[in-house]
Every structure is written in structure tokens, then in C-alpha cells.
């Protein structure tokens, strides 16, 4: 079956393709030749789990087209999204004397694409980049849309740049080696997209959940394609999050990021934290923005079906609130929430601290009773 193509439409000839399908990685070299005719050298930045699995295939595809390849491997995991690792990448690029005609390819999950994208945005004041996402989360979300960056001790993604890739090569065959917990992480972002998108996507996902959890190729590819189509549309309408459109993608992330930070990264996965944040946002929305209890329940059921059960523990509400204030999603001292008002509709609005605390208290109590 040929690959699915989704176009991210941007002004100034910056539109790019996202190709989704098995073995699209084999055509990577041809794509570089077609898109970047003056490029002769490609740096492939992969993480230590993914590079040994797919680095050779990426290199072969590039070498076949006469492109030189420098492989840069970074430790796997969120800790690599750091200024220190970024500096090592820049040093490695400079020591190989890569010039402005080079291209940086990320190979891995969202950590690789955020890191490599930022490296490309600033190296020699900007060189081309291409993403080869290999995690479900990176295929449905992180590799598309041009947000790149690294973490600071003060918080996640606090420094970065908008850097749109020239191409995204989502080879679904690479998902064969993705650990189960990482699949579940991806399902959280897929569920988020379905809630934001439409009844049609939501109920398709609900119906396909068993196939998806069994990694049925066609269903997985359809889920990825639907998410990329949604994200491409959002990015085309609000590339740099200045129009109150792109902010919807933070659904579940206000509480989600705070949970990750307060429990120490890795205690719960990003996906588990986002799913918990979606449950919280729906309840908050029922209280302040008119979401119905049927919606809250339908979303709970969808998350359950995708293996994203409620977290079994809580965190002191005050700690979570402080953490939310330190996040990029606080604005003028108030915490911003994406509140889904129904499937396919949402509001982004600040919520007063006392209201947030009241709901965090209820959330913490529900964990004690569970
Ligand atoms: N830029 C954006 O728009 C955006 C959007 C969402 C998330 N993100 C960022 O993405 C990151 C999370 O991405 P992630 O969940 O992909 O994390 P990740 O990159 O850490 O990958 C998760 C794990 O899966 C492994 N892995 C990836 N693909 C594999 C494969 N095919 N086979 C075997 N192992 C594989 C990785 O080595 C890693 O251990 C976070 O830093 C988050 O902030 C960015």
C-alpha cells in the first residue's frame, strides 16, 4: 500500500509533506535530494535506543543518494532535552564542519525531534531539518508543527524556537519495536486530538480502540493520519500560537505537566499525566464552562478503553497549583486551561486559583476514596 500524504500548508513556500506508512524511511535520501538539492551532508540525531534499531537503515537510504552522513547519538529519555546535550550536538556538527547546506534529521521520539529541531534552528543561524518520528507520540504530534526546544531546571520546554521541518517521514514499521508503555503515551495524544476534533473521530477511536491496542496496522495508520490532518490544520491556522487556535493542543497538559514535574519525571508517563489532565479539565469544564456530565463520562470511557486508567495516587493540591503557576500556561498570574465544552469544542480561559484549588481538592479526595 502506498504511503499516505498529509500536507502542512504554510506561507512563503514553507509547506511540507508528512508521509505515513511502512518503509517510507527507505525513500529518505530521495526526499533530501528532491527538497534540498544543494545538500551533500546529513547529520542524523538519534537516541541510544532508536539509533541501533533504525540508524543503519536511515544511513543506507541517505548514502544511496550519495549523501554523507554523520551520526550523533544522544542518551534516550527526557534528560537529553537539555542545554548540555544541545551544546554537544552543536560541537559535533561544527567539528564535522557541516555548513549551511547541511540537513539535520531527527530519528526517534519527541525528545529527538524537539532537540534536533532546536539544534537545526540555531546552528549557523538555521539549517534545514527533517523528522523521522519513531514513537506514536512523535508521529501524531511532536514531529509536526515546528515547536522545538529543551528543558531548563525551572521547567519543561522553556527555551526553544519555531522551526518547521522540510519533511516528516513517519515510517509506521518502526513502531514494531515501540515499548507498550510508549504506545499508551501516544494514545493519550490521540484521544486528546479526537476530543478536540469531532464526534466522527471520537466515536471512530472509541470503536477502534481494541484494534488499536492490538496494533492493527491499518487502524494505527488511520489514527496517525487523522491526528496529523487535525494538527496540520491547526498549525496552518495558527503557526506560532498567536490566534488562540493552537493553544487547544494543550488540552490535558496544564495538570499533566504539573503532575509530571511534582512527581519527578518518569513516575508517571507523559501520556498518563495528560490523560489525567484531560479527566480533570473535563470536570473543571463541567463546573465552569458548561460541559455535560455525559461528555465527562464519554471521555472517561474512551481513556479507559485506550488503557489510560485514572492514576492511583494524588499530589498535594497546593504543590500542583504552584507548579502550574511556573508553567508557560500561566498568564497574568492566572492559570490557563483548555476546557472542552463538548466533543469538538473548547475554550481556552484563565481559571481563578480558588476554583482550581477546590477542584484539585476534590480530585485528591477521589484518589483517597478509590
Ligand atoms: N514539539 C511538539 O509539538 C511536542 C508535542 C508533544 C510532545 N513533545 C515532546 O515530546 C517528548 C515526548 O516524546 P516521546 O513520548 O516520543 O518520548 P521519547 O522521545 O523519550 O521516546 C520514548 C521512548 O521510546 C523510545 N523509542 C522511540 N521510538 C522507538 C521505537 N520505534 N522502538 C523502540 N523504542 C523507541 C525512546 O528511545 C524513548 O525511550 C516530550 O519531551 C514532549 O515535551 C513535543
- Read off the pLDDT of residues 303-345 as tens digits, 9 standing for 90 and up: 999 999 999 888 999 999 998 987 766 677 889 999 999 999 9
Q: 112 CA to middle of ligand 1, Å?
A: 7
| pTM, rounded to two decimals | 0.96
Q: Parse the chain into domains and list their residue ranges.
A: 4-177, 180-369
Q: Which residues, at least 6 apart from 138, have a Cβ–Cβ distance to it below 8 Å? A: 108, 109, 110, 112, 113, 131
Nearest atom in ligand 1 to the alpha carbon of residue 186 is 15
Strands 155-162 and 147-152, by their bridges, are: antiparallel
Active site residue 34: no
In angstroms, rounded to a whole number, what is the distance separating the alpha carbons of residues 7 and 363? 40
Active site residue 147: yes
Cβ distance 134 to 125 under 8 Å?
Answer: no
Q: 108 CA to middle of ligand 1, Å?
A: 7
CB-ligand 1 contact for 86 (6 Å cutoff): no
The DSSP H or E segment spanning 223 is: helix 217-237
Q: 317 CA to middle of ligand 1, Å?
A: 28
Q: 306 CA to middle of ligand 1, Å?
A: 18
Cβ distance 225 to 137 under 8 Å?
Answer: no
Which residue, by CA, sits nearest to atom 13 of ligand 1?
110
Is 89 buried (19+), middle (13-18) or exposed (0-12) by CB count in 10 A? buried
25-57: pLDDT as tens digits: 999 999 999 999 999 999 999 999 999 999 999
264-274: pLDDT as tens digits: 766 788 899 99
Active site residue 125: yes
Cell of residue 170, nine digits:
513517519
Helix, strand, coil distribution of the chain in percent, nearest 5:
55, 20, 25
Cβ distance 65 to 29 under 8 Å?
Answer: yes
Active site residue 215: no
Residue 261 is predicted with a pLDDT of 85
In angstroms, rounded to a whole number, what is the distance separating the alpha carbons of residues 241 and 247? 6
Give the Cβ contact number of residue 100 at 10 Å: 12
Nearest atom in ligand 1 to the alpha carbon of residue 80 is 20
CATH number of 4-177: 3.40.50.1970
How many residues can be counted in the chain?
A: 370
Residue 153 is predicted with a pLDDT of 81
Active site residue 367: no
Nearest atom in ligand 1 to the alpha carbon of residue 177 is 32
Residue 243 is predicted with a pLDDT of 87
CB-ligand 1 contact for 269 (6 Å cutoff): no
Q: 176 CA to middle of ligand 1, Å?
A: 15
Can you tell me whether residue 226 is helix, strand or coil? helix
- Which positions of the chain have pLDDT values less than 70? 1, 265-266, 328-330
**Which of 59, 231, 329, 359 is labelled catalytic?**
231
Residue 156 is predicted with a pLDDT of 81
Nearest atom in ligand 1 to the alpha carbon of residue 175 is 31
In angstroms, rounded to a whole number, what is the distance separating the alpha carbons of residues 240 and 238? 6
Q: 351 CA to middle of ligand 1, Å?
A: 30
Residue 332 is predicted with a pLDDT of 76
Which residue, by CA, sits nearest to atom 44 of ligand 1?
142
Active site residue 189: yes
Active site residue 253: yes
- For domain 180-369, the CATH architecture is Up-down Bundle (1.20)
**Which of 257, 279, 305, 359 is labelled catalytic?**
257
Active site residue 57: no
Amino acid at each position: 500500500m502506498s504511503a499516505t500524504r498529509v500536507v502542512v500548508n504554510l506561507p512563503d513556500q514553507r509547506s511540507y509533506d508528512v508521509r505515513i506508512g511502512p518503509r517510507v524511511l527507505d525513500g529518505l535520501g530521495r526526499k533530501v535530494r528532491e527538497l534540498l538539492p544543494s545538500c551533500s551532508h546529513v547529520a542524523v540525531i538519534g537516541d541510544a535506543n532508536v539509533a541501533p534499531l533504525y540508524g543503519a537503515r536511515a544511513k543506507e537510504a541517505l548514502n544511496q543518494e550519495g549523501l554523507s552522513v554523520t551520526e550523533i547519538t544522544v542518551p534516550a529519555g527526557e534528560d537529553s532535552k537539555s542545554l548540555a546535550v544541545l551544546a554537544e550536538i552543536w560541537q559535533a556538527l561544527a567539528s564535522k564542519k557541516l555548513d549551511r547546506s547541511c540537513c539535520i534529521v531527527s530519528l526517534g521520539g519527541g525528545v529527538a525531534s524537539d532537540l534536533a529541531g532546536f539544534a537545526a534552528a540555531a546552528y549557523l543561524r538555521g539549517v534545514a531539518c527533517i523528522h523521522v518520528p519513531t514513537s506514536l507520540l512523535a508521529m501524531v504530534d511532536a514531529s509536526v508543527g515546528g515547536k522545538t526546544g529543551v528543558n531548563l531546571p525551572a521547567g519543561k520546554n522553556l527555551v526553544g524556537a519555531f522551526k518547521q521541518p522540510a519533511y516528516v517521514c513517519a515510517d509506521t514499521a518502526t513502531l514494531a519495536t515501540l515499548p507498550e508503555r510508549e504506545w499508551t503515551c501516544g494514545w493519550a495524544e490521540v484521544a486528546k486530538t479526537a476530543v478536540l476534533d469531532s464526534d466522527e473521530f471520537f466515536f471512530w477511536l472509541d470503536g477502534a480502540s481494541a484494534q488499536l491496542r492490538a496494533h492493527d496496522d491499518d487502524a494505527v495508520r488511520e489514527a496517525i493520519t487523522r491526528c496529523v490532518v487535525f494538527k496540520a490544520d491547526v498549525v496552518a491556522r495558527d503557526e506560532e500560537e498567536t490566534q488562540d487556535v493552537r493553544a487547544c493542543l494543550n488540552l490535558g497538559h496544564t495538570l499533566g505537566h504539573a503532575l509530571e514535574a511534582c512527581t519527578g519525571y518518569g513516575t508517571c508517563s507523559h501520556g498518563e499525566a495528560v490523560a489525567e489532565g484531560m479527566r480533570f479539565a473535563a470536570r473543571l469544564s463541567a463546573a465552569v464552562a458548561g460541559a455535560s456530565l455525559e461528555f465527562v463520562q464519554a471521555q472517561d470511557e474512551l481513556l479507559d478503553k485506550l488503557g489510560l486508567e485514572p492514576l492511583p495516587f494524588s499530589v498535594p493540591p497546593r504543590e500542583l497549583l504552584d507548579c502550574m503557576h511556573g508553567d508557560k500556561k500561566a498568564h497574568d498570574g492566572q492559570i490557563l486551561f483548555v476546557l472542552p465544552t463538548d466533543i469538538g469544542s473548547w475554550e481556552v480561559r484563565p481559571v481563578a486559583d480558588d476554583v482550581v484549588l477546590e477542584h484539585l481538592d476534590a480530585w485528591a479526595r477521589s484518589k483517597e476514596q478509590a
